Structure 1
Amino acid sequence: MQLSRHNAAFSLCSEPFFCPMNPDIALLVNPFPELLQAIARSGAALIAPLVVSPFGGVEDSIRHFPTLRSLTRKAFGRGDGRYVVHGGEADFYPEWVAGMFMLFRSEDFRRLEGFDERFFLYYEDVDICVRAWRLGLKVAACPRVSVVHDARRASRRSARHLRWHLASMARYFVKYWGRLPRCP
């Protein structure tokens, strides 16, 4: 995700909502009416739909904040930090939602000062969710509506993407070590 492009696009936004979305997202139905109702109900600063693969599997887009413990557990196949979510469930407040599709209240995106451009392609979504919770803003998920993500998983195939992923992960841990917010 080119964060500078999302931040630049937001500088031109005069609407009450802003939706950064990856180009590999497909909308099979219009998710916005339900998401706008859900963000109004929840009072959240940002909301995300359920993200599914082209084959219908639920993607790992709604998660707990990464910690060294959770990453170690993931490395040993003992959990990966995701919430167990099924389509059609009620809105809820996860710690973070993945950045491939986020709907922000524009006033809150402005208050968050956009994405931190020091993150490149990875962990920018975790970072903005941490900052939201630290400011007392809510992050919500709306599993009643879904979008399709045709993920390429470049960090699993490309050494360059893996380096970017690890660099962003390191930046996240340096920035938030011992300082993650408590979430509901």
Structure 2
Amino acid sequence: MIHVAIVSHGHEDLLIASGMGGLRDAGANMHVWIKDNRPSAQLKAYCLQHGVSYIDDHPGLGFGENNNFLFDLISNSVGFGEGDSFIVMNPDITISPETIMTLVANMQRDAFPIATINLFRDEQHLYIDANIRRFPNIISLLRMVAVRSLSEPYDKKTMSETCHVDWASGAFLAFDARHYQALQGFDTRYFMYFEDVDICYRSQQLLGLGIRFYPQLDATHTAAHKNRNLVSRHASWFFRSFLKFLSRRYFVYDRRANISASK
């Protein structure tokens, strides 16, 4: 079974118009779970009508905590079986059920438990979404001054074959459910931003390889990029989360890996 987790923050109009991001009628092998952070009677009624699981408990949680909440809910209600998938997907993603089914089949064929696909910023797929990037480091602050980006995107125009990358945006991340559990989900110390970098870094340390990227599989991501306004609340979350990731990377994860390697 493929379980797709979507967290709504007032996205009811978008989700209804897109038919749950294209997954409303996905079929028996896929189930969509909506965690509504701003409870909407309209969205609740729509979900009940179309067999989508709607949850509005504990509104106001951060990105990682919301997805962990859904994972635990699924685990405790219907349970995860061998080979089941848990997919984290933004409400502004539009994708076909066939794409997700192919992705999961490819992950199982390749025996790799975490992956992403090729995201575009428009329906015509003319504008690339930089959803795969290299891990940020201490000198990333210099990069921010030069090009206004704390992490370096891969050049997806040159990537036509399946490969591994450092990390992928939490806008769309696919996990084997047991791998998500082994990672203990997202680190809830990040309220928003860099929790995706963090979980990918921990996954790489566990597996010895980064995220599996399938460039031939695609979807649309109409992102808002609210963190780009430097005086916004989102910018504050963004920079604090960046510093938190650097601290945990160098003083927790890398130190732990060095200790294990020395034994």
After TM superposition, the score normalised by the length of structure 2 is: 0.63
Deviation at 1:31, TM superposition (A): 1.5
Which stretches in structure 1 are left out of the alignment for 5+ residues? none
Task: Show the counterpart of 1:156.
Answer: 228
Out of 239, 247, 251, the position equivalent to 1:166 is 239
Deviation at 1:118, TM superposition (A): 0.6
Deviation at 1:117, TM superposition (A): 0.7
After TM superposition, the score normalised by the length of structure 1 is: 0.88
Deviation larger for 98-107 or 151-160: 151-160
Structure index of larger Rg? 2
| 1:157-180 deviation per Cα after TM superposition (whole angstroms, max 9, x unaligned) | 351000000110011011012729
| 1:44-74 deviation per Cα after TM superposition (whole angstroms, max 9, x unaligned) | 2211011110162111111110112244234
Task: Show the counterpart of 1:125.
Answer: 196
| 1:106-125 deviation per Cα after TM superposition (whole angstroms, max 9, x unaligned) | 01000000000111220000
Deviation at 1:128, TM superposition (A): 0.3
Tell me how far apart the structure 2 counterparts of residues 72 and 42 of structure 1 sit (CA, whole Å).
37
Deviation larger for 44-53 or 73-82: 73-82
Tell me how far apart the structure 1 counterparts of residues 233 and 144 of structure 2 sit (CA, whole Å).
22
CA root-mean-square deviation: 2.4
Q: How many residues align?
A: 181
Which stretches in structure 2 are left out of the alignment for 5+ residues? 1-61, 258-263
Deviation larger for 133-142 or 147-156: 133-142
Tell me how far apart the structure 1 counterparts of residues 159 and 139 of structure 2 sit (CA, whole Å).
31
Change (3 A) 1:62 1:88: closer
| 1:80-124 deviation per Cα after TM superposition (whole angstroms, max 9, x unaligned) | 511111398221110111100011000100000000011122000
Q: Which has the higher helix share?
A: 2
Out of 122, 147, 159, the position equivalent to 1:77 is 147
Q: Which has the higher strand share?
A: 2
Q: Residues 45-124 of structure 1 correspond to what in structure 2 (within 5 A)?
A: 45-54=113-122, 56=125, 57-77=127-147, 81-86=152-157, 89-124=160-195
Tell me which of the two structures has the higher relative contact order, counting C-alpha pairs closer than 8 angstroms and 6 or more residues apart: 1
Tell me how far apart the structure 2 counterparts of residues 74 and 102 of structure 1 sit (CA, whole Å).
25
Tell me how far apart the structure 2 counterparts of residues 33 and 46 of structure 1 sit (CA, whole Å).
14
Identity %: 25
